[in-house]
Amino acid sequence: MHKNVLIVDSDKESTRLILGILALKGIGATVVSYGKSIFDFLEKSHYDLVFCVIRVNQPQNDLRLVHEIKLNSPEMPVISICDLQGQQCDSPQQLLNIAVSAVNLGCTDCLIKPLDSKKIENLFDTLLPNHPVVSADYQDEFNNLITIVGKSSKLLHTINLAKKIANTSAPVLIGGESGTGKELISFLIHRCSKRVQGPYIRVNCAALTDSLLESELFGHEKGAFTGAYAQRKGRFEMAHRGTLLLDEITETPLKFQAKLLRVLEQQDFERVGGNDSVKVDVRIISTSNKDLQTEIAEGRFRQDLYYRLCGLRLVIPPLRQRQDDLADLVWHFVNLYSRQAQRSITQLDPAMMNIFARYNWPGNIRQLRNVVMTSLILGAGPKLSLADVSWLFDELQPLKQENTSGETPAPARSELTGMPLEKVERQVILETLDNTGGNQTKAAKILGISDRTLRSKIRRYSKTDQLQLAS
């Protein structure tokens, strides 16, 4: 995670303190004095947090700056720092009024000089977590960094193939389930290719109606149809000497596929409503989450178009085949979304990770991202768990495998098989309490019993087994 902080301050001592803490955490920073245009820096670079000093002798100007930053970037965390500048404050009430004004304008926190290094470290841990994750990084000739989180052998094999494919101009077909990261691999291929200086244009074929597809890809001439008030270039023309990604290519209608095949073969076309031929040089990358052989067999996709698109083929592994990447991906999403939840996470609940490992993730990485985000926002405390989002327990139960043999499957043997019923109940209660951090109300809700019944069972087990349970 490469994060960046903007510090608006002219005080060398305080900026040196903040910069030292940032350096230890591997976070970049830019220091801007009052005399320079702060918004030039905000427009030219991406920042994840802003420190903005409010001088007590002229608070209105600095508070106005905070207001403008939040107006332009509502979700940007802003930390205000009250600076007495060696002057005596008229009263403690004056400082309180400034702090209240800063918070009302949207500041996440308000500090007072001299700064407390421990307080600043805690702020960074909450707003800019930088937990280490294993990733495959690639830096192109423009110093753009592409990061793909994971270390599993299947993922690394896919990335290595993508880099090998990139050096050619052959069309590429990327297959894989929804949410596996097909677009990210497509972008990696473009960035590793000889066309990196050219444009990278993406078309989501599933999001366009049949009538819009042709105009969107090939453009149109003025007056070609109602609403065509001017000539418009299509995505093919925009991608000249670059790469065009046809995302979810199997969603295109057969009639359009015939025209697309001709354009791919000849690399020229006419805009809608035009007669002039437009010549282009475009590399095609297409993606699909469907089995193309099945689509061809059932008459929904042209076989000749398949052969034209599938010069080289990659298949992205689903998340259930990347067990080694689960922890890194969870920490990656914690780094991304902890700021929104304003929650410092220091530990992943082992029970939660055990549930993640058993689940087959039909929505893949996209689904995992949403689960982590929900747990972050709705949970509390330094441990990320599912305790505060009990409905996720039901959603993340392992899906039953479809039985196509027609035979009645033999029941799976559980580790609880042969155990007395009372001991089974005791173990289930203990595990549920552990998952909820000892919260009996939540545990009772998950177990489907009343709080009173759960307390009664806990008292009974406490007497017989001398259990020490959190209340």
Evaluate whether 226 touches 268 at the Cβ level (below 8 Å). Answer: no
| Strand, coil or helix: 111 | strand
- Is the same domain home to 84 and 117? yes
- In three-state secondary structure terms, 188 is helix
Residue 362: phi, psi to the nearest 5? -65, -25
Structural domain contains residue 336:
yes
Assess whether 257 and 352 both reside in one domain. no
Of 315, 341, 361, which residue is a domain's last? Answer: 315
159 falls within a domain: yes
What span, in angstroms and rounded, lies between the C-alpha atoms of 317 and 150? 12
For 344, the 3-state DSSP assignment is coil
Residues 299 and 155 in one domain: yes
CATH number of residue 107's parent domain? 3.40.50.2300
Whether residue 172 contacts residue 165, with contact meaning beta carbons closer than 8 Å, is answered with: yes
Residue 401 placed within a domain: no
pTM: 0.75
The number of beta carbons lying within 10 Å of the beta carbon of residue 162 is: 24
Q: Identify whether residues 11 and 73 lie together within a single domain.
A: yes
Domain final residue, candidates 127, 148, 163: 127
Beta strands in 85-133, from DSSP E residues, in sequence order:
109-112
Residue 199's identity, in one-letter code, is P
Q: E strands, 78-178, where?
A: 78-83, 109-112, 135-139, 145-149, 172-175
Whether residue 122 is found in the same domain as residue 147: no
The answer to whether position 42 is within a domain reads yes
CATH of the domain at 174: 3.40.50.300
Q: For the purposes of burial, counting CB atoms within 10 Å of the CB of 443, is it exposed (0-12), middle (13-18) or buried (19 or more)?
A: buried
Does residue 150 sit in the same domain as residue 288? Answer: yes
Are 335 and 1 a contacting pair, CB within 8 Å?
Answer: yes
CATH number of the domain within which 354 lies? 1.10.8.60
Q: Which of 315, 339, 360 is the last residue of a domain?
A: 315
The 3-state DSSP composition of the chain as helix, strand, coil percent (nearest 5) reads 45, 15, 40
Contact 117, 284 (CB under 8 A): no
Same domain? For 110 and 222 the reply is no
What local confidence, expressed as pLDDT, does residue 411 receive? Answer: 43
The tens-digit pLDDT sequence of the chain (471 residues) is: 478 899 988 888 889 999 999 998 888 898 987 655 677 777 777 888 999 888 877 788 888 888 888 888 888 899 998 876 555 555 667 778 888 888 898 899 888 888 899 999 989 888 888 888 888 877 666 666 778 999 999 999 999 999 999 989 899 999 999 999 999 999 999 999 999 999 999 999 988 887 788 888 888 888 777 777 787 888 999 999 999 999 999 999 998 899 889 888 888 888 888 888 889 999 999 999 999 999 999 999 999 999 999 989 999 999 999 999 999 999 999 998 888 888 889 999 998 999 999 999 999 999 999 999 999 999 888 999 988 787 887 788 765 444 444 444 444 444 555 667 677 777 778 777 777 767 788 777 777 788 788 888 877 766 555 444 444
Asked if residue 306 and residue 328 are part of one domain, the reply reads no
Tokens coding 349: 């609940």
Q: Residue 378 domain-assigned? A: yes
- Count: domains in the chain: 4
Kindly give the interhelix angle for 12-25 and 117-127, rounded to the nearest 10 degrees: 50
Give domain status of residue 63, yes or no: yes
Are 139 and 284 found together in one domain? Answer: yes
In sequence order, what DSSP letters do the residues of 19-76 get, joined into one string?
Answer: HHHHHHHT-EEEEE-TTS-HHHHHHHS--SEEEEEEETTSHHHHHHHHHHHHHH-TTS
- In which domain, by residue range, is 86 found? 4-127
- Asked if 266 contacts 282 with a C-beta cutoff of 8 angstroms, the reply is no
Q: Are residues 339 and 386 in the same domain?
A: yes
- Cβ-based burial of 385 (10 A; exposed 0-12, middle 13-18, buried ≥19): buried
- Tokens encoding 126: 């909450």
The beta strand positions in 113-175, using DSSP E, are 135-139, 145-149, 172-175
The verdict on 149 and 294 lying in the same domain is: yes
Query: What DSSP character marks residue 47?
Result: -
For residue 455, the domain's CATH number is 1.10.10.60
Residue 443 CA to residue 7 CA, distance in Å, equals: 45
DSSP 267: S
Same-domain pairing of 14 and 75 = yes
In a domain? residue 55 = yes
Using alpha carbons, select from 461, 413, 414 the residue that is nearest to residue 433: 461
Residue 254 is assigned to a structural domain of this protein: yes
